[in-house]
């Protein structure tokens, strides 16, 4: 990325059972002003990977103009998907190889939306270790867990 990010988007997803009730959350920080936005939501029957993706989709959806964004996540699924797998999925009509056959990418609806959103911005990715005391990641986890508890 040529420029320093204007926005840092911290995201996390959580699920009780997989599938089961789940939650997503993000903390978005606008670096020039220091302003922060927090949001969270959930679903009664979902997977952890869907909630991880939903958190990034929801965060990027709040941006009103093209900007430089650093996405900070503990999800290897999201970060590997965005930085590498998505290129071949798109080339193969949103299919991936499973054994000797091609099958639809899991969570294709969210991946397609995320692909659209990422194309609107200049995005870089940072992987962090989950549950390691990172303040924004811990906050996202707390909010996401609170969301799935609403379904218990």
Catalytic residue among 6, 12, 58, 147: 12
Is 141 in the active site?
A: yes
- Which residues span the domain enclosing 105? 7-149
Tokens read off for 4: 């320093």
Percent share of the chain, pLDDT over 70: 98
Q: How far apart are CA 136 and CA 114, in angstroms?
A: 21
Query: At residue 45, what are phi and psi to the nearest 5 degrees?
Result: -135, 105
Closest among 54, 63, 27, 18 to 142, alpha carbons compared: 27
Beta bridge partner(s), residue 25: 12, 40
Q: Residue 141 is inside which H or E element, if any?
A: helix 135-149
CA-based radius of gyration for the chain: 15
For residue 128, is it within any domain?
yes
CATH number at residue 116: 3.30.420.10
Residues 43 and 21 sit within 8 Å (Cβ to Cβ): yes
25-29, 74-78, 127-131, 146-150: which has the minimum mean pLDDT?
A: 127-131
Tokens read off for 21: 């009730």
Structural domain count, the chain = 1
Mean pLDDT value of segment 9-28? 96
Is 74 in the active site?
A: yes
Catalytic residue among 23, 42, 52, 147: 52
Beta strands in the chain (DSSP E): 7-15, 20-30, 36-46, 68-73, 95-98, 101-104, 122-127
Mean pLDDT value of segment 15-20? 93
pLDDT of residue 152: 77
Instruction: Kindly report the pTM of this predicted structure.
Output: 0.94
For residue 2, is it within any domain?
no
For residue 82, is it within any domain?
yes
Q: At what angle do helices 135-149 and 48-61 cross, to 10 degrees?
A: 110
Q: Is the pLDDT of residue 1 over 60?
A: no
State pLDDT tens for residues 99-126: 999 999 999 999 999 999 999 999 999 8
For residue 32, is it within any domain?
yes
2-16, 25-39, 68-82: which has the minimum mean pLDDT?
A: 2-16
For residue 88, is it within any domain?
yes
Catalytic residue among 6, 58, 74, 136: 74
Tokens read off for 148: 């799935």
């Amino acid at each position: 990325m040529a420029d320093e990010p204007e926005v840092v988007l911290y995201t996390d997803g959580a699920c009780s059972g997989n599938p089961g009730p789940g939650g997503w959350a993000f903390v978005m920080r606008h670096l020039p002003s220091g302003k922060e936005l927090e949001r969270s939501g959930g679903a009664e029957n979902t997977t952890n990977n869907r909630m991880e993706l939903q958190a990034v989709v929801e965060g990027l959806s709040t941006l009103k103009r093209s900007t430089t964004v650093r996405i900070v996540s503990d999800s290897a699924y999201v970060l590997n998907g965005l930085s590498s797998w998505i290129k071949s999925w798109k080339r193969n009509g949103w299919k991936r190889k499973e054994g000797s056959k091609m099958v639809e990418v899991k969570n294709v609806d969210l991946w397609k939306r995320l692909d659209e959103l990422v194309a609107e911005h200049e995005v870089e990715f940072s992987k962090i270790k989950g549950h390691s005391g990172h303040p924004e990641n811990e906050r996202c986890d707390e909010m996401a867990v609170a969301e799935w508890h609403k379904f218990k």
